[in-house]
Structure 1
Amino acid sequence: MFDLIKTSWIPIRRRSEKTEIIRPSQIVENIETDPVVDFDWPRVDFQIASIEFLIGLLATAFPPATERKWRTLWRTPPTPEDLEAAFEPMRKAFNLDGSGPRFLQDFEPLSNGSEPIERLLFEAPGEQTIKKNMDLLNHRNRVQRMGRPAAAIALYTMQSWAPSGGKGNRTGLRGGGPLITFVTPSDHDALWHRCWANVPLGTPPSEADLPKVFPWLVPTLTSEKNLEILPDLNAHPLQAWWGMPRRIRFNFEEQPNARCDITDEPDDVQATGWCQRPYGANYNYWAPRHPLTPTYRPGKDKELLFQHPQPGGIRYRHWLGLVVPTETSFEAPAIRTWINDRQPDLDDGDTPRPMDRFFAGGADFDNMKLRSFAESHFPLPRAATPEDQLLVDDMARRLVQASTLVADTLRSTVRAALFSAGATVKLDASLFTCLREEFWNRTEPAFFEHLTQYSQNPTAAQDQTCHDWLADLRRVALDLFDEYAPATPDTDIQECIQIGNGRRWLISTLYGHSKDGKQLFEFLKQPLPPKAPKKNGTNHAS
């Protein structure tokens, strides 16, 4: 059997740029001299899924009981033998093939619903696309077989992020295509520290609890009769890492000297297809139990839901809800724990640690269709004390609120400049989407520069930070307005009037004279400009 605990199957890269294939416990091997620094899959979704897999494995089998224990293992990582011993009680859940329970596969052998192996990949064309001969951008049969390592991580990716898949094919425990966030510490490049930074406190499950952690160890709790999988009722909370919404069973074939179509690595046993049945596990009420995914509340008295990537990618405008909570959106538990509990304890006296970084990404789906894969890396400015960190969070909130208001005003004023009042032009048209995205692009470096400088002296830098940010917003907004709504010598007089009116509207907001302008100045705690004197119709001699 292909044992995912004892078998070397994970491609990695070390600091020396040397590449290897390792087993999970080897992430701490040679950590002082030549540590593992990253995975080496040829696909970005496999890279991110592997982070989740390792964090989940550590959170399940090797969790720290206290923050003190966590800090001890941060400074003195375990040995490969320590991890081997911790993973050993879980091994029966990590066999990919064989006749018994299989990793993330249905407990029962399946014989119907046969699918080619490439349909385990999100971008692969579906049955209807192929029937209509419409697979123009993503052609069929590019992946006809997978070695067992690639098959294992492809299966984990599918079960963890599963989108809508037709009648009875359930989405992942966090819904289809969850947003994934985690901290990347800047003072350690070892993969161990990146994983350990995001592992929550806990205790390993008992032997009796393993079937509720790893649902493939027992017959599937199917959803034909509307059965839901609920934490602490018919599932262990640790199943957050090991959800199995799809009833899948691999078809393996012995193929001596064969190579995987994804990794080009040799494997004498290849996954060539998979069988499936509908109505796998239906997960409900799991937010906010997954440590790596932020949540939001869609309305008053509504249950929390997991956040998902949206078109346009992830920018600093999403800072609220990903790093700083709002009334309706909340950062992932791992991010909250790092900022509040772990990050402050790692500073060593008067020598501050380098600035950590923050990852946010995931697959952006429109039902079953993969639109894109979002991936963003941001600096994570921090203050010296918890009290100062609250000031930094409040400043971030103000800067984002101000830039959002200006972006909306810019979009509206450009629309008014280019189209007549009665024109049926939606504000989400591609022109205005590009305009907003360019606004976020141009202001993002300044946002992090201001927030970083402010975090170093938050009690004294508020006025200057807000003043400088307002100046940046004015400069970028006016530049973009002139680029998207230019007035040239050839422009019609009526069009020039429209452009002029739109620009005056934008200026009135940027300088605090309109209703939105007053809101902008309130966000940034700036004094409103003096009101212009009223005209009384009387001419005064000079």
Structure 2
Amino acid sequence: MPEPFSLAGRAWLPVALNTGQRKLVQLGEITRPDIARLDTGRPDTDAALAEFLIGFLAVTIGPDNRSEWLHLYRTPPTREQLEAAFAPFANALVLDGDGPRFFQDRDDLSGDETPVEALFIDAPADHFMLDRRYEALSRTGAAIALLTLQTMAPSGGAGHRTSLRGGGPLTTLVVPRTQPNLWQLLWVNVPEGLKGSVDTATHIFPWLGPTRTSNPKENGVITTPEHVHKAQAFFGMPRRIRLTFEANDGHRRCDLLGALADPDDLIVRTYVTRPWGVNYPSNTWRHPLSPYYKQKDKDAEMLPLHLKSARVGYRNWLGLVSETSSSLTTPAEAVALFRRDRARSIGEQKERLRIKAAGYALDNMKPLEFAEALLPLFAVDPDTNKELDRHAKGMIDAADLGARQLSGSVRIALYGENAKVDSGSTVLGSVTSEFWTETEEHFYARLEALSNAIVAAVEAGSLPDRREEISATHAPRWLEDIRRVALSIFDAAAPIEDSDPERLADAIDARRQLSLMFKGHGKNGKALFAALGLPLPNPTSGNGADKPRNR
């Protein structure tokens, strides 16, 4: 049997260099300036590996304040410094052998063997399929797949726990430059105040101690930050798993890493799993990299946010970045901390700042697909951010009103005034989706222009006097953007010239009502103008026939 496989001393991190070359590097090499990004070959394993590294950095060399954080952002630690900081925690990085095993149960579990492909969240539920993508993994590949499952575990049946944030959680990372290197991406998201020690290691890495099992029939327990170290948020172990290692007599390559890695001495084809792993009530934890929400304004309970579709658009933007936008949604602490404090320190140009949102889109807690999106991040100072967020909320609220009126108008044009058609139907759902997609580029362009105007006013000390001017300049432009897109989509979905004679009057009236809404008429029109801070039109400018019916 080869000596235990330690991630502390092996080249196991798959990365892409600035040259485009892929290679495996050691943990101590992550500050190399030529490493562009992690590159496992899968976006979900890339995301989970980044989270693990951010958490491991927080525990080993994490900052206690902005000054400490900024120093290491500007002057990354050397390989020798990193290896010295990692050394006390080396026993948490051993994948096999007789002692504690990386992200695995302490007990030598017995039971049926499960194909290793089941470690991947998007693997088919039928484990007896003959056509598998991942039949055998190297120890490096198995470590990456295992930490990904433990980080993102979806519902797995009775007793098979979901991850600390539920299945396929949404993660948001700050991207500090147009093309940051790996160190910059990781360190900019490292939280403060989570540094650990040898004495607290068993409370940080759950595989170092007995598993806190959760079978209610066997005095199982829940696990909250009151029971363990808060940093365990990065190293949750909801699934009880033991990998099964076997000799790689055929010198087979890893099905995850392929030619990137030489054939390993040992491979993993199966693993044993048992129910009732660690039970992390998601309402008791706040993961530093995830946004949270509450279902009602009066609720104290905050829950991790999940994606409902594979598209992350600008209507999600405010909840992912703003601490003041809504009492129902709170951005990830990493994003909030950067926006209110760290952005000013590093001096990057604001147009380079972005957030990367990533997670599994879920349908009734079942993963559909892994979604990723890069969204602009405007961050200057708390007061400027607050002013910009106020405008952004108004713009999004106005767009939402426009999308609803558009959907209602198309419904009437196609099916009649009294038709009962689900707004999520194929036709109406696609109309709404197209509206949000077609207005997205305009939204970010308008938001950037607003940001520049607000910054200029703040720097001149004239923001209080220029608020009305800024709103009067920029709000009508956004109004015209959404009006133009809405009418264009209506004309394509319900062209009047092609209308059924019985529907012609409805189609003409529906389009007219949609147009009037964008002129501030009717209940929805008034709400739209209020959202944008625009004065309502003269009530004598139209007659009773001009008042739109709200859809």
TM-score (norm 2): 0.90
The residue that corresponds to 1:530 in the other structure is: 538
The answer to whether 1:237 aligns with 2:241 is: no
Matching residue's letter, 1:339: R
Residues 493 and 188 of structure 1, relative CA distance in 2, 3 Å threshold = closer
Residues 304 and 203 of structure 1, relative CA distance in 2, 3 Å threshold = closer
Does the CA-based 8 Å contact 1:223-1:280 persist in structure 2? yes
The residue that corresponds to 1:205 in the other structure is: 196
Matching of residues 105-120 of structure 1 within 5 Å? 105-120=104-119
Between 1:183-192 and 1:194-203, the stretch displaced more is: 183-192
Query: Secondary structure at the residue paired with 2:502?
Result: helix
Q: Give the superposition deviation at 1:328.
A: 0.5
String of CA shifts for 1:106-163, please: whole Å, max 9, x gaps. Answer: 1101111421011111121113x85xxxx7xxx7422211111111111111101101
Q: Give the superposition deviation at 1:312.
A: 4.5
Q: Give the superposition deviation at 1:92.
A: 0.5
Measure, in 2, the Cα distance between the counterparts of 1:395 and 1:498. Answer: 35
Measure, in 2, the Cα distance between the counterparts of 1:15 and 1:297. Answer: 42
Of Structure 1 and Structure 2, the greater helix share is in 2
Between 1:456-465 and 1:326-335, the stretch displaced more is: 456-465
Matching of residues 335-484 of structure 1 within 5 Å? 335-347=335-347, 352=349, 354-367=351-364, 369-383=366-380, 385-458=381-454, 459=463, 460=466, 461-484=470-493
Q: Give the superposition deviation at 1:436.
A: 1.7
Residues 295 and 287 of structure 1, relative CA distance in 2, 3 Å threshold = farther
Residues 321 and 113 of structure 1, relative CA distance in 2, 3 Å threshold = farther
The answer to whether 1:305 aligns with 2:303 is: yes
Matching of residues 109-148 of structure 1 within 5 Å? 109-127=108-126, 140-148=131-139
Does the CA-based 8 Å contact 2:292-2:329 persist in structure 1? yes
Query: Secondary structure at the residue paired with 2:540?
Result: coil
Q: Give the superposition deviation at 1:252.
A: 1.0
Residues 115 and 414 of structure 1, relative CA distance in 2, 3 Å threshold = same
The residue that corresponds to 1:502 in the other structure is: 510
Query: Secondary structure at the residue paired with 2:273?
Result: strand
Measure, in 2, the Cα distance between the counterparts of 1:227 and 1:68. Answer: 43
Q: Give the superposition deviation at 1:533.
A: 6.3
Q: Give the superposition deviation at 1:320.
A: 2.1
Measure, in 2, the Cα distance between the counterparts of 1:203 and 1:159. Answer: 20
The residue that corresponds to 2:13 in the other structure is: 10
Matching residue's letter, 1:315: G
Does the CA-based 8 Å contact 2:213-2:277 persist in structure 1? yes
Measure, in 2, the Cα distance between the counterparts of 1:457 and 1:368. Answer: 43
Does the CA-based 8 Å contact 2:357-2:372 persist in structure 1? yes
Matching of residues 135-214 of structure 1 within 5 Å? 140-186=131-177, 189-214=180-205
The answer to whether 1:323 aligns with 2:321 is: yes
Matching residue's letter, 2:109: L
String of CA shifts for 1:428-459, please: whole Å, max 9, x gaps. Answer: 11222222221111111111111111111214
The residue that corresponds to 1:50 in the other structure is: 49
The count of aligned residue pairs is 519
Does the CA-based 8 Å contact 2:309-2:362 persist in structure 1? no
Does the CA-based 8 Å contact 2:292-2:332 persist in structure 1? yes
Between 1:496-505 and 1:292-301, the stretch displaced more is: 496-505
Measure, in 2, the Cα distance between the counterparts of 1:20 and 1:294. Answer: 33
Does the CA-based 8 Å contact 1:179-1:293 persist in structure 2? yes
The residue that corresponds to 1:539 in the other structure is: none
String of CA shifts for 1:198-217, please: whole Å, max 9, x gaps. Answer: 00112522322211111111
Q: Give the superposition deviation at 1:367.
A: 4.3
Query: Secondary structure at the residue paired with 1:457?
Result: helix
Residues 368 and 146 of structure 1, relative CA distance in 2, 3 Å threshold = farther
Does the CA-based 8 Å contact 1:124-1:140 persist in structure 2? no
Query: Secondary structure at the residue paired with 1:493?
Result: coil
The residue that corresponds to 2:549 in the other structure is: none
The residue that corresponds to 1:218 in the other structure is: 209
CA RMSD of aligned residues (A): 2.0
TM-score (norm 1): 0.92
Residues 534 and 148 of structure 1, relative CA distance in 2, 3 Å threshold = closer
Measure, in 2, the Cα distance between the counterparts of 1:19 and 1:191. Answer: 13
Measure, in 2, the Cα distance between the counterparts of 1:119 and 1:216. Answer: 20
The residue that corresponds to 1:492 in the other structure is: 500
Q: Give the superposition deviation at 1:378.
A: 1.4
The residue that corresponds to 1:90 in the other structure is: 89
Does the CA-based 8 Å contact 1:312-1:437 persist in structure 2? no
Q: Identity percentage over the alignment?
A: 38
